Amino acid sequence: MYTQALNIKDMAAAAEDSAFDARFQSRVDAEEKIEPNDWMPDAYRRTLVRQIAQHAHSEIVGMLPEGNWITRAPSLKRKAALLAKVQDEGGHGAYLYAAAETLGVSREDLVEQLLDGKQKYSSIFNYPTLSWADIGIIGWLVDGAAIMNQIPLCRCSYGPYARAMIRICKEESFHQRQGYEIMVTLCRDGTPEQKAMAQDALNRWWWPVLMMFGPSDKDSQHTDKSMRWKIKRFTNDDLRQKFIDATVPQGQYLGLTFPDPAMKHNDRTGHWEHGEIDWSEFKRVVAGDGPCNRQRMKQRRDANENGAWVREAALAFAQKRRARAEAAARIAAE
C-alpha cells in the first residue's frame, strides 16, 4: 500500500519536473537568460557550478606562474603592466566566485573543494615559467586561448555568468596584447639570444596551450548537454581550430616556427591542420602529475592558511560595525 502511494507521488513529481524541464528548454531555445531565482534542472545547476568554479580556480591559480616574474620584469613599464595583469586575474576569480554563489554554493566551500583536489583548474597552469619569454607566451597564447573560449560564454544562457564574462573578456584582450607586444619586442627588435628564448618558450607551451580547449569532441563527456543548454556554443575541437587559425599568422609575423612538423595549411578548407595531440600528457597533468601541480596547490594552501587571520579580522570588524549601527538605531528609536 505504502510503496504504491509513494510511486504515484513520484510519478506526479516526475511529470511536474518534465513540464518544468520543457518550459526551461524553450526559454533557453528562445535565448532568454536564466536568472538565479528561476527554476532550472539540477543537472544544469551542477554543470554550471562545476564549470564556473573551475574557471574561478583557474584565474586564481593562474596568478602564480606569472606572479613569479613580477620582481624580475625587465623594466618598470613591464613590471607595471604585469602587476596590473596579475591583479586583473584575481578580480576575474572574484567575479566568478560571486557568479557561482548565485547558484547556492559558497565561495568558502568551493575553495575548500579546490584545496581538497575535488575541483580542478586549467591544466595549463601546471607548467613552469622558466624565462621572461614565457610571460610573453602566456599573454599571447594562454590569454589568447582563454579569449577564444570565453567570448562565446558572454552569450551563455545563465545570466550572471554571461555578464561576468563580458568584463573579463575586455580585460583578457588587454592581456593578450601585452603578451604579444613582449613577443614582438623579443622577436623583431631583440637580439638573436632573445629570439631564441622566444622560440624555446613557444616550443614548450604550444602543445599544452592546445590542450587547454579540453579533450577532443569524440572523448568529451560534457559537450552535448552543455550545447543544448547553451552554456557552450562551440565544441572543443571547433574552438581549438579557430584558435590555431588565428594564431599561426601571428607566429609567422614573429618569424617563429611552431613545434609541429605535421602543421600545414589546407587550401581547400582554409584551415591550418595540426598533428596529433598527446592526450596521455593532458590526462597525467589533469590527474595531478604535471610539472608544477604540487607546487601550485601548496602555494594556494599556504595562502589560504596565512590569510585566515585577515578573513577573521574582517568578519569581526563587520560584526562590530553591525552591532554599533543596531545600537545607534535602537537609541534613535527610543
- Residues of this chain that interact with Fe ion (CB under 5 A) are 59, 89, 92, 143, 172, 175
What minimum distance in Å lies between the beta carbon of 97 and Fe ion?
Answer: 13
Q: Which of these, 239, 243, 236, lies nearest to 258 by C-alpha position?
A: 243
What minimum distance in Å lies between the beta carbon of 93 and Fe ion?
Answer: 8
Q: Which is nearer to Fe ion, 28 or 164 (CB)?
A: 164
Q: Which is nearer to Fe ion, 140 or 258 (CB)?
A: 140
Q: Report the half-sphere exposure of 43 (CA within 13 A, side-chain side).
A: 10
10 Å CB burial of residue 70 (0-12, 13-18, 19+) is middle
Q: Which is nearer to Fe ion, 175 or 296 (CB)?
A: 175
DSSP state string for 158-185 = BHHHHHHHHHHHHHHHHHHHHHHHHHHH
Alpha carbon distance 167, 171 (integer Å): 7
Q: Which is nearer to Fe ion, 78 or 92 (CB)?
A: 92
Q: Which of these, 302, 306, 198, lies nearest to 259 by C-alpha position?
A: 198
What minimum distance in Å lies between the beta carbon of 158 and Fe ion?
Answer: 18
What minimum distance in Å lies between the beta carbon of 323 and Fe ion?
Answer: 38
Alpha carbon distance 214, 217 (integer Å): 9
What minimum distance in Å lies between the beta carbon of 2 and Fe ion?
Answer: 54
Query: 3-state DSSP call for residue 74?
Result: coil
Query: 3-state DSSP call for residue 264?
Result: strand
10 Å CB burial of residue 65 (0-12, 13-18, 19+) is buried
Q: Which is nearer to Fe ion, 143 or 260 (CB)?
A: 143
What minimum distance in Å lies between the beta carbon of 175 and Fe ion?
Answer: 4
Dihedral over Cα of 44, 47, 50, 55: its sign: negative
Q: Which is nearer to Fe ion, 141 or 254 (CB)?
A: 141
